[in-house]
Amino acid sequence: MRIVFLGPPGSGKGTQAQILAQKVGIPQISTGDLLREAVEQNTLVGRKAKEYMEKGALVPDEIVVGLVRDKLSQETAFILDGFPRTVQQAESLDEVLQQLGVSLDAVINIEIPLEAAVERLSGRLTCSECNSIYHVKYNPPAQKGVCDTCGGDLYQRSDDTEKAITHRFDVYKKQTQPVIQYYKERKKLVNVDGNRTIEEIATDIEELVST
């Protein structure tokens, strides 16, 4: 199975990619998580990516494509979360997949009104150890501030400020929305209504990928 999750910030890509990855037992590759790890570890990539991420801008294509290329060469099945985000990244992904002799099964586009996404992002909590995603109201942990999965500390992402969220939406509209058309033309796109509960959407997605 080779799947891509698309959607605006806060649409629930990460949440659904984690649920599906666990259900079907294949790796979730999140470019946001990979980049945050690189920043945390202060690697060369992390130092280059940091200022873009803090502003809510996209990290340059060549950096992100390099990260994904390395990961994909180690996997035969995967769920991509947050990549591709530009048409150039989508073209690069096609090239990498062609070199590996495989293709995408589906691109799942989670659709959500922007106001709902902002509310979700302002209440998001993320595990500092395993990257599990929570929400203070919609998906709270059993114990405040502690991850249900691994016991790690939960934190609020530094790009979930009002200013960075607003900028991420502008970037999404200008640079990522054309990717939807790219996959529509290639008959890979499946739209999913993201304005429902986490469980309802997960059930829908599981059905979609099993047909």
Q: Which residues are catalytic?
A: 13, 85, 124, 157, 168
Q: Are 157 and 54 in contact (CB under 8 A)?
A: no
Site for ligand AP5 in 5-24 (CB under 6 A): 7, 9-15
Q: Does 139 interact with ligand AP5 (rule: CB under 6 A)?
A: yes
CB of 98 to ligand AP5, least distance (A): 19
Cα 109 from Cα 99, distance rounded (Å)? 25
Q: How many residues does the chain have?
A: 211
The DSSP bridge partners found for residue 193 are: 111
Nearest to 85 by CA among 156, 13, 134: 13
# binding residues, ligand AP5 (CB under 6 A): 36
Q: Which residue has the tokens 């099993």?
A: 210
Taken in order 49, 84, 168, 34, the sign of the CA dihedral is negative
Using CB under 6 A, pick the residue from 22, 99, 103, 197 that binds ligand AP5: 197
Q: Does 135 interact with ligand AP5 (rule: CB under 6 A)?
A: yes
Q: Does 107 interact with ligand AP5 (rule: CB under 6 A)?
A: no
Site for ligand AP5 in 78-97 (CB under 6 A): 82-83, 85, 89
Q: Does 32 interact with ligand AP5 (rule: CB under 6 A)?
A: yes
Comparison of 106 and 160: residue with beta carbon closer to ligand AP5: 160
Site for ligand AP5 in 174-193 (CB under 6 A): none
Q: Looking at 100-108, 147-155, 182-190, 194-202, which segment touches ligand AP5 (CB under 6 A)? A: 194-202
CA 52 to chain centre: 17
CA 120 to chain centre: 15
Q: Looking at 30-38, 40-48, 96-104, 182-190, which segment touches ligand AP5 (CB under 6 A)? A: 30-38
Using CB under 6 A, pick the residue from 20, 78, 109, 134 that binds ligand AP5: 134
Nearest to 57 by CA among 177, 163, 181, 178: 163
Cα 72 from Cα 52, distance rounded (Å)? 24
Comparison of 106 and 171: residue with beta carbon closer to ligand AP5: 171
